[in-house]
Structures are given as C-alpha cells and as structure tokens.
Structure 1
Amino acid sequence: MTAHPTPHPQPTRTRGPQDLATHRRGPTLPSHRIPHLPGQVAFPEQSRTAPGPMALEGFNTAPATDAEQALLTCCRSLRWAHRVAEHRPYPDLEALLAAADEASYDLTPADIAEALAAESLTPLPAGAYSAAHTALSAAHAAYESRFGHVFVICLDDIPAAEALDRVLTGIRSRLTNDPEEERLLTAEELRRLARGRLRRIVGDFSSQPVP
C-alpha cells in the first residue's frame, strides 16, 4: 500500500494595517482626479462677498499664464480659459462674468469632454451614514455608465443640509434624459459652476500685489 504524504496546513495570513483600513472603510466615493474645486458635487463652500474693484484689477493685470491657470480651476477647458484671459482687462465683475458665460455657450463637444474629464467627486462630510455613501456611489455609477462622464451640478445656492438630496434627485431625474438632452444640461451646469468659481478666484487676486 502506498503511503500518502500528510498535507501541511496552509499558513494563516496576518492582517496588516492596510487590510484593517480597507475592512473598516466601507463604501466610499471615487478618489479625486484633480484638486478640490469649490461648488462641485456634493457640498459647495460658503459664498464670499463679491470682489471689489481692486480684486478685479489684480486679475486684469496678472500675467497671462497666471490668469489662465486660475481660470482653469473654474473650467478645465483650455480654449475657455485662454479666451476669457485674452479679453482682459474687464471694466467690472459683471463684464467678466458675461465674457465667461459667452465662452461657455461656445464650448464644443470636445471642449465639454475636456472639462468633464477633469471634474471629480467631492466626498460626503465626516459622519455621514454609510447608507448615504452607498446611495450616492450607486447613483453616480449608474449615471457614468449611461452617459460616460461624471455627473456635475452647481449647488452654490443650495443649503449644505439639502445638498445630498438635491444631488440624488438630480441624478435620478437626469438618468431619464437622452444623451443630447443631457449634454445640453451638463453644459449649462458647467457654465454655472465656472461662473461661481470665477467669482471666488477673482476675489483671491485681491490679496496679491498688483504689478
């Protein structure tokens, strides 16, 4: 009779800190692809007071490369940023915002795709229930599966306490759109996001020395 070797027990793998962190983390939103942009999904920053003339003067006189880099934090379309920067100086904030709107209305499908590729999701605030993470992650996944890009919505005028409901409602409502309808809505949300962000970045120039 042939003797069969006794099988050796497989060693038990000890969980390390990374395993424990993964085990405890639970459902999360996708990681950021670019630095945080104020006003994007899901919770906008508090609006600042509208910048005054000196803030606009700082934007008007900044080097073109600095102005374009700042504008790219509002809308990640290179053509949009170049066009808005090229038409400086602006006599007042409303003229600047009008120029930004006009540039937004002229975005081509390729420009919109470029801008959307740089948008990212903002995580829920600390302490949010895991059910909220799960619901929002599932809604975003369904949206991206249907339209092929991240969901964007401007929440600048929405109280933080209502933001999650507004995002979920918006995604579920827009999932019923056909691609062309959604492209138009997405372009409008990008315009509104760019407008709100532009108000804030022009304000940032007020703390910079004027050349």
Structure 2
Amino acid sequence: MTREAIGLAGFNSLPDDAAEQALLACCSSPRWARAIAAARPYPTLLSLLDAADVAVDMLSEADIDAALAGHPRIGDRATGTAAHEQSGVTGDDVRARLAEGNRAYEEKFGHIYLVCAAGRDGEELLAVLRARLENDPTTERQVMRRELAKINLLRLIQLVAS
C-alpha cells in the first residue's frame, strides 16, 4: 500500500511537523526531512526535487545511516511503498541469491545494499549487487548516496502527485 498523494500545494501548506512526518515516509533521515520541510513553499515539483537532491548531498554519514535504517533489504518481503518498489523481485531462488549477496555486501561495507529497485527485476538487482561488490568502500558509499537520492525522488513524486 502506498501513501496518499497530497499535491504540491497540499504539501506546501502542511504544518511543519506534518510535513516532516510525510517526508520521513520518503526518507527516514530526520535531518533530510527537516531541511526539505523548512525550505517550503516550493513553486514547482522540480524545485522540490532539486532541494531533495541538495539535501542528500549535505547529509553526514550518520544521517545516511539513519536513512538506510528505513529501508528493507532487497529481496526481503517488504511492505508498503518498498513492496511496490521491489515488485520485480519474485521467486524463492532469486530471493535466496539476493539474501546471500546481501550478507556478502553487508560484511564488506557495513550497511545494507541500497538500490533504486523500481522497474527492475530480481536478476537485474542481483547483477547490480554483484557489480557493486567490486567497489571500494568510498566509491560504494557515493553510489549508495546516489541510489538513496533516486529513491527519495520517486517517493517525493508519489507524495505530491496530483
């Protein structure tokens, strides 16, 4: 189940605490949610999305860890928005291989494998995971930030769609 779209005008008019709660459903970093809520009103969807990207770039490593805490592992039986985003992950065999890849990834990098899964099937997500296992930790952290930004943008679009 996905959250209800409130439109850009509706988002701009929310009280600060309600806006932050809506944003935390997009990205569980409180600093990110506060930054986006505080910069309202947004004249266009594009200005909101640009602000969201800038806010991700400004997050500390601890803020990124908070954002990661809000995401299920790829291939786990997700609920809500994450279930929709991972709808291409089907089959016990693919899930088992993703679970194995997730363990290797977490052992190497110390955090979950985060990838924008929307529109991708399990085999593609597994191939991306295997390729990213070749990254060094610094490169992978940068890749993961960009994936977080993509997920945030998709969720924001869903939130303010009208």
The TM-score with structure 1 as length reference comes to 0.65
Moved over 3 A (4+): none
Shift in Å, 1:131: 1.8
- Does the 8 A contact of 1:37 with 1:74 survive in 2? no
In the other structure, the counterpart of 2:24 is 72
In the other structure, the counterpart of 1:109 is 61
More helix by share: 2
Shift in Å, 1:201: 1.2
Shift in Å, 1:145: 1.2
In the other structure, the counterpart of 1:134 is 96
Q: Please tell me whether residue 165 in structure 1 is matched to residue 117 in structure 2.
A: no
Shift in Å, 1:37: 7.7
- Does the 8 A contact of 2:7 with 2:159 survive in 1? no
**In percent, how many aligned pairs have the same letter?**
40
User: After superposition, what is the alpha-carbon deviation per residue over 1:151-187, rounded to whole angstroms, capped at 9, x for unaligned?
Assistant: 111133x3xxx42112101110011111101100011
Aligned residues: 151
In the other structure, the counterpart of 2:155 is 197
Q: Please tell me whether residue 181 in structure 1 is matched to residue 143 in structure 2.
A: no
Q: Please tell me whether residue 96 in structure 1 is matched to residue 54 in structure 2.
A: no
Higher relative CO (Cα under 8 Å, sequence separation at least 6) belongs to 1
- Structure 1 counterpart of 2:143, one-letter code: L
- Structure 1 counterpart of 2:107, one-letter code: S
Distance in structure 1 (CA, Å) of the matches to 2:49 and 2:151: 12
User: After superposition, what is the alpha-carbon deviation per residue over 1:90-113, rounded to whole angstroms, capped at 9, x for unaligned?
Assistant: 111111111111111111111111
Determine which structure has more spread, i.e. the larger CA radius of gyration: 1
Distance in structure 2 (CA, Å) of the matches to 1:165 and 1:130: 12
Give ranges in structure 1 of 5+ residues lacking alignment. Answer: 1-35, 39-50, 207-211
Distance in structure 2 (CA, Å) of the matches to 1:150 and 1:97: 24
Give ranges in structure 2 of 5+ residues lacking alignment. Answer: 78-85
In the other structure, the counterpart of 2:82 is none
Distance in structure 2 (CA, Å) of the matches to 1:78 and 1:132: 33
